[in-house]
Structures are given as C-alpha cells and as structure tokens.
Structure 1
Amino acid sequence: MKTSKTLSTKDNLQVIYEDNHIIAVNKRAGDIVQGDKTGDKPLSDVVKDYIKDKYNKPGNVYLGTVHRLDRPTTGLVIFAKTSKVLPRLNKLFLTKDISKTYWALVKEQPPKTKDTLVNWLKKNPKNNKSAAYPKEVSQSKKAILHYEILKKLDNYFLLEINLETGRHHQIRVQLSNIGCPIKGDLKYGFDRSNKDASISLHARYIEFIHPVSNEAIKITADLPNDPTWNACL
C-alpha cells in the first residue's frame, strides 16, 4: 500500500500525495476549494499554480475538483490532474468505494462510546445551514455516519467519524443534533469561535484503490498545529 508524506511549498500549500493522475493536499482553515462569490483565490487555483511552476507547463493547467470541504474545515482534498482520471474518481465517490475518515473535537461527551447516527437533513439555502430530522420531511435527504470516541482530553473528546453519505454540513449538524457541536462551530451551537475562525473538524484519512494503477492508496493529512489538536497525538 502506498502511503503519504507532506511537502510544503510556496503559498503554504501542503502537498501530501502526488502522481501522474492525482494530487492530494492538506487544506488549511479558511481556504475555499473552488471559487465563490467572495472572489478569494480558491485552493484549486493555488494547486494549478503549483503544477504549472513545478513542471514548467505553458498555457492552462488541467485540474478537476473531485470533492469539497467546508471553508472552516481542514484536511484532505483530492484533485484530478488528468481528464482521464476525473470521471473514475467521481465514480469512486459515487459508489462509496473510497473511505473517508474525519476527526472532530467536541466538548460534550457523546451518549455512546460508538454509534451510528441516522437523520434526514434539510438544507436552508437562505442561511446556508442544514437541520436534522428523525424522519423524512419534504426535500430532506437521508444521512448516515458512524462515530467512535478515540480519546478523552482535558476539556474535549476526540471523535473519529466515517460517513456513509455526503450531505451538506452532515457531520456538523448530526453531531450538534446529539448535543455535541464541534469546537468552534458557532453555526451549529458551539459557544465560542476558534481564534483562527476554524472549526475543529479535520479530514484525516482517505483510502481507495487507485483508478489507474489499481494500487491500494492511503493518504493521511497532518493535524493543524494547535495545542488541542497536538494533544490528540
């Protein structure tokens, strides 16, 4: 199995894994994966600049966005470097043949050491927020995640989360729904923000079979350099 190591480049871009077809980076809090109405430079453009400089590519650089992370969230983001691999990666995500594992810090102890949460989530585009319901309601989508308490810190609990579905703000709203909002997540009920405006949700691991080489790939994103995250190791 191929594993990953972090390479820091200019613009503080942390490249974790790269081959001819795929590049994976460790997203910082505040970075946006794709351009939006803010006009801020997206991570996709930073990665394009990195590829252009590293390989002295003339003209436009191809880069396909496979998935996204919320702006205040940190961790693993994968991009396709070729048009050949983009639909194959998209299919891996669609068929759930890619394993994504997240770590989250919460202040309140979850009801169980490990559990599966099943809710119906409905997005409100006006406030960019989702609500969780125990049963299906109009325009809602089923959401399933599995969590486990990995470690008890002095003031927080470290949770490991695996998703079965990929819904809008899914981890944030489902944990908040059991009384465990994520550290720093004011939108979903935490009482104060983190100093860097992040929320303590980190895309930690991704595992999949490479769609071209058929090798088993496991990529790990280093945790943010923060005292609470450092206590998790």
Structure 2
Amino acid sequence: MTDSIPPEESLQPPPAAPRSEPILNIPGALVLVIVLMAGLFVAQAYLLSEALSRWIDFEFGFIPARYVYPLFEGDYSWVWSPLSYSFLHGSVEHLVFNCLWLACFGTPVVSRIGTRRSVVFWIASAVAAAAVFAAIHWGEVQLVIGASGVISAFMGAACRFAFPPRSKVFSRRPVFAYPLLGVGEVLASRTAVSFLLVWLAGNVLVAVGLPIVGDASAAVAWEAHIGGLLFGFFAFPLFDRQPVPPGEGAAVNDG
C-alpha cells in the first residue's frame, strides 16, 4: 500500500539548502592591490639589487624635506610620492599585517562604494596621511613607506557604518549596506568606541617607542596612521552612496 500525495504537493520543489555566505568576500580590486604590493616587495627584496631597491624607496617613498628643498637636481618625486609610498613595504611583517588589515576593513568599504570611488578614496587618504606626517616633520629627511595610513582611513570609514549601536541592528543586511551613521551615533556604539580606543592606545604605544609587531628598530609613522583615520572617519560621507538593501531589486554597480 502506498500513500497518496495531492497533485499540488507533488509539484512543489524540495526546500533549498541554506546558503553559506563566505566570512570575508574580498573584492577583486583589493586582491589586485594586495598582489601589486606583494609583487613590489618580492621584487625589491629578492629580485633586484640592493642599490636599485634603495633607489625605489628613495624615489617613490614619501620624504617631507622634498617640500622645502630639492634633494637633488631634477627631483620631481614630490609630485607622485604622496601616493606611491603607500604601495611599498619594508619587511615581510609590514606587508603581511597591512594586507590582513586591508582585507578586513577595505572589503566592506569597497563593497559599499565601488571600485572607482575606492580608487579616489585611496589616493585622497594616502595624500592626507602623508600631509599630517609632513606637517609634524616639516623639512625632515624621513622616509615613509607602507599602506598603513590608507588602511587607517579604511578603518575610520568602516566605523561610520559597520558598528551600529545596539538599538540599530540591521540583521538582514550585509555589513556594507548598513546606513551611514552620524558622528554622535558612532560614539554611541560601544563596539566602535572600544575599537577606536584600542587602536589609539596601540598608536600611543608606538609613538613612545614600544612597537606592537615587527622590527623593533624600524620607526613607525604613527602620525600618518592618525591622519588617515581622521580623514576616513570625517571625509567618508563625501565618498559614500546610499546602499541598496538586499531584495529591493537594484544591483550594486561600480559607480
């Protein structure tokens, strides 16, 4: 004896298996940047001569003294160095930690504002971080390389939407689609404030000569970190666009 199944029920498809979303879906643009930074480091550390590697750091690294007097005749690197320094790194630890932090905080920001706006954001934050460093070390021959200032800007930008107060939890939206928060709303979020305080404490320790990770003998441009974070936190609304919650039928574009 067999059970009879109503026709309408027999036509129903089986329930779909729940989809497992990846924890960190890194945008392709960030992957390209990470590959670029890793490639430049490998070339300097293992493929090029030490003299050529030092020339690249000098030519494309950021040095405040360039804005007071030319370091040599025909030195025009003051034009591109406020951006190019952000793609160079001085050690494996420096590169690895920056890539990890970039993946964590760059992913929600790039997913939210798209590739083209993210490129402009990277350029502006690199310049802003370098400008703060130059303002504090005006005229000094100090070399700055690394993406830490830009990554700090991504951190500051993420704080404007990724850590909503408990009273504003948007469980059905991906993080990058959370509404933009005002400064007061960010300060009302325990998670955001705790993160900012821990980040600030780490930079204070670096400023007084207690490195958190990496080579203890390598100077860390904490001034650029602070400049990048402030830029990302306060200037992000200029780059933001209204995210579209899932299910409303509009595709996220690369505008």
Say whether the fold is shared (TM-score over 0.5). no
Query: Which TM class, normalised by the smaller chain length?
Result: under 0.3
Going by fraction, where is strand more abundant, 1 or 2?
1
Bigger Rg, which one: 2
